[in-house]
């Protein structure tokens, strides 16, 4: 997990950050405040605990919430104290500023570019974190899509097996419906609808289980542990529903054909 040195104005620059437990660290002291996500994911970060970083021991004096942003993976302390602990002198790895509005960005970039004393790359917060996350995102996509495809095949076979068992155990009921006048098409459609409904219920349960689920991973750019929450967006939800419908249709089609072709006389003999 990354340790960041900040100034007293950190909460003014990040208006979405607020203390939820304890207090702010005091400048000049070996005190830290920790993000909510990091505190929940890792042991030993409770308020009042002491941790060892660098050549010094630090006391956790507060917990902050950052509205689910990546800042919740960090622990903050006085920048001057952290520079001394790691012998960084007066150097800074990054500087965060808050502009008055979006139109001020171009003026800010031009001002830094015309200042020969400063060599800096300027990014918006979204661009910066997108750049940091791009290698990890590519890696997850490279592994995720093949794994998702294999899991989808397994789910389709699972639905196929379940629906075959359902049709076999309800042969008498299906035959009774046929005897009452329901045709093969009606039986076929009802079985497919049943399969797709089960698939949609499974997709809904997956949404409930994984939306907001908290995990941690290694940031390949900074080699620090990053905690994040799974967020199932509207686009992902639509993709999941479509995938569940496809799995339900594939898994229910052949059992539905078998149910539609089930001989009425043979099934009624089991009564």
User: Which one is predicted more confidently, 225 or 52?
Assistant: 52
Task: Judge whether 108 lies within some domain.
Answer: no
Q: What percent of the chain has a predicted confidence (pLDDT) above 70?
A: 86
Q: What is the mean pLDDT of residues 158-171?
A: 76
Residue reference for tokens 């012998």: 87
Q: What is the pLDDT of residues 94-129, one digit of tens each?
A: 788 888 777 788 888 888 888 888 878 888 877 777
d(CA 187, CA 174) in angstroms, rounded, equals: 7
What does each C-alpha distance from 212 to 7, 100, 169, 207 come to in angstroms? 31, 32, 39, 9
Please indicate, yes or no, whether residues 94 and 132 belong to a single structural domain of this protein.
no
Please indicate, yes or no, whether residues 133 and 216 belong to a single structural domain of this protein.
yes
Please indicate, yes or no, whether residues 181 and 234 belong to a single structural domain of this protein.
yes
Q: What is the pLDDT of residues 225-263, one digit of tens each?
A: 565 666 677 777 787 788 888 888 887 888 778 777 777
Other beta carbons less than 10 A from residue 50's beta carbon: 11
Overall domain count for the chain = 2
Task: Judge whether 113 lies within some domain.
Answer: no
What is the separation, in whole angstroms, between the first and last Cα of the chain? 66
Task: Judge whether 42 lies within some domain.
Answer: yes
Other beta carbons less than 10 A from residue 16's beta carbon: 11
At 31 the pLDDT is: 92
The domain in which residue 240 lies consists of: 126-268
Task: Judge whether 262 lies within some domain.
Answer: yes
* Among 113, 109, 14, 132, residue whose Cα is nearest residue 65: 14
pLDDT at 46 over 60: yes
**Which one of 78, 98, 118 terminates a domain?**
98
Task: Judge whether 120 lies within some domain.
Answer: no
At 59 the pLDDT is: 93
Please indicate, yes or no, whether residues 137 and 253 belong to a single structural domain of this protein.
yes
Please indicate, yes or no, whether residues 133 and 217 belong to a single structural domain of this protein.
yes
User: Which one is predicted more confidently, 42 or 231?
Assistant: 42
Please indicate, yes or no, whether residues 94 and 201 belong to a single structural domain of this protein.
no
User: Which one is predicted more confidently, 52 or 230?
Assistant: 52
At 223 the pLDDT is: 47
At 15 the pLDDT is: 78
pLDDT at 74 over 60: yes
| Whether the Cβ atoms of residue 83 and residue 115 lie closer than 8 Å to each other | no
Structure-token pair, residue 26: 């005091």
At 64 the pLDDT is: 92
């Amino acid at each position: 997990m990354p340790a960041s040195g900040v100034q007293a104005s950190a909460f003014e620059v990040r208006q979405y950050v607020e203390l939820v437990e304890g207090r702010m660290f005091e400048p000049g002291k070996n005190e830290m405040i920790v993000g909510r996500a990091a505190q929940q994911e890792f042991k030993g970060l409770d308020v009042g605990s002491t941790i060892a970083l660098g050549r010094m021991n630090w006391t956790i004096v507060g917990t902050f919430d950052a509205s689910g942003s990546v800042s919740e993976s960090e622990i903050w302390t006085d920048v001057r104290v952290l520079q001394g602990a790691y012998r960084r002198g007066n150097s800074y790895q990054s500087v965060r500023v808050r502009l008055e509005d979006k139109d001020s960005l171009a003026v800010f970039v031009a001002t830094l570019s015309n200042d020969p004393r400063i060599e800096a790359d300027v990014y918006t917060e979204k661009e910066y974190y997108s750049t940091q996350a791009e290698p990890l995102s590519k890696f997850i996509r490279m592994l995720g899509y093949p794994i998702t495809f294999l899991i989808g095949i397994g789910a389709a076979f699972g639905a196929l097996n379940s629906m075959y068992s359902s049709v076999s155990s309800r042969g008498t009921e299906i035959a009774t419906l046929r005897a009452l006048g329901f045709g093969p098409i009606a039986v076929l459609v009802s079985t497919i609808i049943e399969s797709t409904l089960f698939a949609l219920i499974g997709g809904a349960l997956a949404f409930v289980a994984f939306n907001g689920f908290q995990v941690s991973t290694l940031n390949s750019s900074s080699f620090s542990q990053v905690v994040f929450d799974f967020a199932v967006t509207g686009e992902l939800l639509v993709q999941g529903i479509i995938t569940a419908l496809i799995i339900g249709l594939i898994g229910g089609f052949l059992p539905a054909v078998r149910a539609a072709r089930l001989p009425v006389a043979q099934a009624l003999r089991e009564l």
